[in-house]
């Protein structure tokens, strides 16, 4: 496909993230990017500002697909999208903790894969520091409301501790390879930090349930021979989907603006 000066965008997912991203594209808020279609496994009717299409149809008319529908879509469709020659912007970075999938996507083409940082900052600096040498310690602590962290694999004792908690409770501790698999809708941040650092096993992650958490918080602490770094983010949860933060779709839009060639961007 010959690429025009305007990025022709297909959006997968019409949820809390997709609605904001699709609305901004449809109203021309991202110069150089046009919403061509929406892909979703539910009939959306007139609720979307662009035609609803299958993925196969989207690949015929788009040069960029934005994933806003969860890790499963990345696993099931990522390689197919890239093999078609269409670029892919991934919001659900948690899927990339699967080493085989990450290699498959990074090696696939001719389409190119990009990742958005979502609700976390400081990734650009961590990538720059990584070029200076390995970080000795990287710790991410994510704190959310208990109800947003409940998972089918949790036993009755853990669920009861979370539901009856009057103070913060650590729900899981592990690496950035382990945690996103257990919390597929709540810990993409861990995978994003791992992508920046270059090693998911080097990033220690603590997931904390706090009944008093008005904000979702992410604290990154990293250190090495060349310096030490600390970033703290506190976001309001999305009202429609408290498992994600309100800022996430705007991070996707920022990435889209960069891909569309907006000048003056901090990259």
Distance (Å, whole) CA 140 – CA 183: 15
Q: Which two tokens stand for residue 267?
A: 């990259």
Distance (Å, whole) CA 77 – CA 215: 33
User: What is the DSSP secondary-structure string of 133-173?
Assistant: ---SEEEEEEEE-HHHH--TT--HHHHHHHHT-SS-EEEEE
- Sign for the CA dihedral angle at 194, 199, 204, 208 comes to positive
Closest CA to 242 of 140, 155, 119: 119
Q: Which residue, chain included where needed, has tokens 């103070």?
A: 167
Q: Which of 136, 218, 226, 235 is catalytic?
A: 218
DSSP E strand boundaries for 180-243: 203-209, 216-224, 227-235
Is 218 annotated in the active site?
yes
Query: What SS3 class is residue 124?
Result: helix
Closest CA to 115 of 55, 176, 67: 67
Half-sphere exposure of 53 (CA within 13 A, CB side): 19
Q: Which residues are catalytic?
A: 218
């Amino acid at each position: 496909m010959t690429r025009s000066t305007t990025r022709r965008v297909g959006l997968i997912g019409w949820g809390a993230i997709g609605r904001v991203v699709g609305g901004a594209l449809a109203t021309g808020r991202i110069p150089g990017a046009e919403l061509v279609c929406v892909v979703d496994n539910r009939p959306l009717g007139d609720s979307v500002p662009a035609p609803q299409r299958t993925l196969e149809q989207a690949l015929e008319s788009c040069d960029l697909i934005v994933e806003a529908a969860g890790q499963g879509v990345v696993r099931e469709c990522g390689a197919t999208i890239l093999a078609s020659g269409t670029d892919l912007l991934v919001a659900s970075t948690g899927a990339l903790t699967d080493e085989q999938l990450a290699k498959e996507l990074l090696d696939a083409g001719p389409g190119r894969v990009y990742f958005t940082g979502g609700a976390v900052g400081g990734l650009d600096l961590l990538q720059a520091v990584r070029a200076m040498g390995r970080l000795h310690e990287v710790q991410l602590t994510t704190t959310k409301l208990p109800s947003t962290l409940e998972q089918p694999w949790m036993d009755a004792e853990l669920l009861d501790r979370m539901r009856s908690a009057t103070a913060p409770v650590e729900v899981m501790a592990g690496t950035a390879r382990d945690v996103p698999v257990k919390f597929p809708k709540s810990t993409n941040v861990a995978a994003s930090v791992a992508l920046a650092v270059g090693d998911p096993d080097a990033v220690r992650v603590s997931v904390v349930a706090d009944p008093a958490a008005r904000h979702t918080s992410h604290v990154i602490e990293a250190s090495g021979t060349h310096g030490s770094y600390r970033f703290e983010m506190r976001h309001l949860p999305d009202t429609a989907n408290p498992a994600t933060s309100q800022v996430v779709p705007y991070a996707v839009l920022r990435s889209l603006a960069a891909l569309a060639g907006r000048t003056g961007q901090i990259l």
